[in-house]
Amino acid sequence: MLRSRRALARGVLSRHCMRNTGFICLAAFGLGCSSEPDDASATIGTTVASMPSTSVGSNDDTGDPGETDDPSDDADADSNPDPTDDPSADSADSDDPTGSAGTCDFDMTAAIRLSVDVTWAGGIAVLEGAGAIDIWLLGELDAEGGDVALSGRVCRIALPDFATGLLAGNETYGTTFPDAVWSSPTMPTIDATATISTPDPGASLHLERGAVVLGATMADPLNDPWPADWHQLAATDHDGDGSPGVTAAAKTGVGYAYPRIDILNSEARASEIFLVSRTTMEFDGTVDTCDSALGEATITMENHSVGCATVAGADTQGQCSDGQTTTLDNNMPQFVVMGGDFELVRLADGAACDAVFAALP
What does 77-107 look like in DSSP terms, one character per residue? HHHS--TT--HHHHHHHHT-SS---SS----
For residue 216, being part of any structural domain is answered with yes
Q: Please tell me the distance from the alpha carbon of residue 52 to that of residue 74, in angstroms, as a whole number.
A: 10
3-class DSSP assignment, residue 288:
strand
Q: Are strands 270-289 and 204-214 parallel, antiparallel or unpaired?
A: antiparallel
For residue 22, being part of any structural domain is answered with no
pTM of the predicted structure, to 2 decimals: 0.70
Confidence at residue 10, expressed as pLDDT on a 0 to 100 scale: 34
For residue 56, being part of any structural domain is answered with no
Cα-trace Rg, the chain: 30
Number of domains making up the chain: 1
Confidence at residue 145, expressed as pLDDT on a 0 to 100 scale: 58
Domain housing 321 = 108-359
Sign of CA dihedral 15, 16, 20, 23: negative
Q: Please tell me the distance from the alpha carbon of residue 20 to that of residue 13, in angstroms, as a whole number.
A: 10
Confidence at residue 96, expressed as pLDDT on a 0 to 100 scale: 38
DSSP class of 123: -
pLDDT truncated to tens, each residue of the chain (361 aa)?
A: 333 333 333 333 333 333 333 333 333 323 333 333 333 333 223 222 333 333 333 344 444 444 444 444 444 444 454 544 444 444 333 333 333 456 889 999 999 999 999 999 998 889 999 999 999 999 999 987 568 999 999 999 999 999 999 888 899 999 999 999 999 999 999 889 999 988 889 999 999 999 999 999 999 999 999 999 999 999 999 999 999 999 999 999 999 999 999 988 999 999 999 999 999 999 999 999 999 999 999 999 999 999 999 997 544 458 999 999 999 999 999 999 999 999 999 999 999 999 999 999 9
For residue 128, being part of any structural domain is answered with yes
Give the bridge partners for 284, in sequence order.
Answer: 206, 296
For residue 135, being part of any structural domain is answered with yes
CB 35 within 8 A of CB 96: yes
CB 27 within 8 A of CB 294: no
Q: Please tell me the distance from the alpha carbon of residue 307 to that of residue 345, in angstroms, as a whole number.
A: 37
CB 75 within 8 A of CB 11: no
Confidence at residue 91, expressed as pLDDT on a 0 to 100 scale: 37
What is the 3-class SS of 163-179, one letter each residue? Answer: EECHHHCCCEECEECCH
